[in-house]
Amino acid sequence: MAEAVIKLGRKKKASTFLDKVKEILPEGGNLNACLTCGACASGCPATGLADMDPRKFLRMAALGMDEEIIASDWPWMCTMCMRCIYVCPMQIDIPQLIFNARGLRPREERPKGILASCDVALKTETTSAMGTNEEDFEFVVEDVLEEYQESQPEFADMQAPIDKEGAEFFLNQNSREPVTEPDEMVPLWKILHLAGVDWTYGSKGWAGENYCMFLGDNDSWKQITSTSVAQANKLGVKTYLNTE
């Protein structure tokens, strides 16, 4: 009679999502050190959304539930605010896991709003998610600046330079404000003016947000960031000041 053989568990997939993340993180990202204490979930703003939280997500990854992770919308609800790392006693890099989870979905199936904003930003060297070109941005800045210089004499000397060489700070700007809320740019100008800060916008790479990063598109977010850095370096600016 043949001897019965009992096999427990299931064979692990050759290359799971968790394995791939460990390959790119120092020391495997410490992802096996989870104590399931729940500290990450208690401090997470996205806990409870889509019936998910960081602890549950990490366990799904550890169990090789790649298909369930791809299908879940929760990775797109996470802001990657890093709060989970700060409260985790083992310092597990869950946001890095989230970022790579987003890349599991085919690009065309990722959230339409983020996808569209990323694609628009890639079409112009301003990197504006609103598609604002260099000429329009310069016109808005100059027009708004002139208006406030005239209406508020105490700020008659206030400046909002673009492509000023050798400035101390390279300032970026939310893409929406020059288009829909141009007056919202002014408070920061006033602060910089009163503080005597030497700053400049760039005609290229001035947009502050990077939707391609949130999309989980490595090549595209690198292109956006490289455009800004290249302009700052061209102008010889010392410090990149990120307002977003």
3-state secondary structure of 42: helix
Distance between start and end Cα atoms, the chain: 72
Per-residue pLDDT of the chain (244 residues; tens, 9 = 90+): 555 554 544 555 555 787 877 777 666 567 777 888 999 999 899 999 999 999 999 888 888 888 999 999 999 999 889 999 899 888 888 888 899 899 999 999 999 999 999 999 999 999 999 999 999 999 999 999 999 999 999 999 999 999 999 999 999 999 999 999 999 999 999 999 999 999 999 999 999 999 999 999 999 999 999 999 999 999 999 999 988 7
The predicted pLDDT at position 225 comes to 95
The predicted pLDDT at position 34 comes to 83
CA–CA dist 29, 97 (Å, integer): 9
State the amino acid at position 91 in one-letter form: Q
Q: Report residue 52 as tokens.
A: 């998910």
Q: Report residue 164 as tokens.
A: 């000023």
In this prediction the pTM is 0.82
Q: Which 3-state string (H, E, C) describes 69-89? A: HHHCCHHHHCCCCCHHHHHCC
CA–CA dist 59, 92 (Å, integer): 12
